[in-house]
Structures are given as structure tokens and as C-alpha cells.
Amino acid sequence: MARRLDFETSDPTDDIRVTFSDGRRAYVSAKRKIDRGRPLEETLTGWVGQVPTLGPDDLLVIAGEARFGPLKNLDRALRRTARACAWRPLTSP
């Protein structure tokens, strides 16, 4: 459950910071339109700057009203990649 919301923070991902009751945080970059170009580049730059402050369960989020171009299917591609990279226990031969 969200315990605190901070807006326009001094964090590299500066639009919204959500702090959950268990201490996890979500850093949200809010955009009207998500497409290739400057807004996406600024978001990714913010995420790179945010990495040193992230806890193991913290989240980086991009939220937008609409996605265009190759980003229209970004969620599907990320889910597919996450499934492919999921940790699997090693099995004995």
C-alpha cells in the first residue's frame, strides 16, 4: 500500500515518488505522449541517474496517456524479455 506520494522531487526521475508501507519506492516519470525522441531520452537519462539510489525492490516507471511508434508495444516486449531472463534453478545433468 502506498504510504506517501511526492511530486516534482529532486530525484533524477523527478515527477512522482511513491513510497510504500514496506519501504519500497516507485519513481514515476509522467508523460502525456510516449514516443521516440527527447521526452523518452530524458526519462532514460533520469533512470540511469536513479540507479545508484535504487533499493533491490524499487521500481522505475514511465506512465503516459498514449504510446506511439515502436513504443506502442513496449509493455509486451518487456514482459517477453522478463520471462526469458527469469531466474531458473540449475538442474543436475
Indicate the SS3 state at residue 49: helix
pLDDT tier at 92 (50, 70, 90 boundaries)? very low
pLDDT at 88: 52
- For 1-43, write each residue's pLDDT tens digit: 999 999 999 999 889 999 999 999 999 998 888 888 888 888 8
Average pLDDT over residues 73-92: 65
Q: According to the model, what pLDDT value does residue 73 have?
A: 75
- Going across the sheet that includes 25-34, the strands are 2-7, 16-20, 25-34, 59-67
Q: State the DSSP H helix or E strand holding residue 32, giving kind and residue range, or none if neither.
A: strand 25-34
Q: What is the mean pLDDT of residues 70-93?
A: 66
The most distant pair of C-alpha atoms in the chain lies apart, rounded to whole Å, by 53
